Structure 1
Amino acid sequence: MTDIDTWMRGYLKAWRGEEPKDVEALFAEDAVYLTSPSADPISGRDSIVEWWLAEDEPSNPEFEWWPVIVTETMAVVQGRTEYPGSTTYLNLWVIAFDAAGRATSFTEWWMEEKEDS
Structure 2
Amino acid sequence: MDTTREAFADWLQKYGRAWEARDAKAAAELYAEDGTYQVTPFVEPMRGRVAILEYWTNVAQTEEDIHFEYEILAVTPEQGIARWWASFVRVPPGLQPSWMESSSSLSMAKESAHS
**Range of TM-score over shorter length:** 0.7 to 0.9
Aligned-partner SS, 2:65: coil
* CA shift for structure 1 position 6: 1.0
Give TM-score, length-normalised by structure 2. Answer: 0.73
CA distance in 1, matches of 2:39, 2:110: 24
Superposition deviation, residue 20 in structure 1: 4.6
State percent identity of aligned pairs: 22
- Displacement of 1:83 in angstroms is 2.7
Aligned residue pairs total 100
* Structure 1 portions without partners, runs of 5+: 101-117
CA RMSD of aligned residues (A): 2.2
Letter in 1 for 2:51: S
Give every structure 1 segment of 4 or more consecutive aligned residues whose post-TM-superposition deviation is greater than 4 Å. Answer: none
Q: How does 1:17-32 map to 2 (within 5 A)?
A: 17-32=21-36
The TM-score normalised by the length of structure 1 is 0.72
* Selected match of 1:97 from 85, 108, 114: 108
Distance between the aligned counterparts of 1:90 and 1:32, measured in 2? 20
User: 1:89–1:23: structure 2 CA closer, same or farther, 3 Å change rule?
Assistant: closer
Secondary structure of the 1:62 match is strand
Unpaired segments of 5 or more residues in structure 2?
A: 91-96
User: Which residue of the other structure, out of 58, 76, 82, is the alignment partner of 1:77?
Assistant: 82
Match of residue 110 from structure 1: none
In structure 1, C-alpha distance between the alignment counterparts of 2:88 and 2:101, rounded to whole Å: 12
SS at match of 2:106: strand
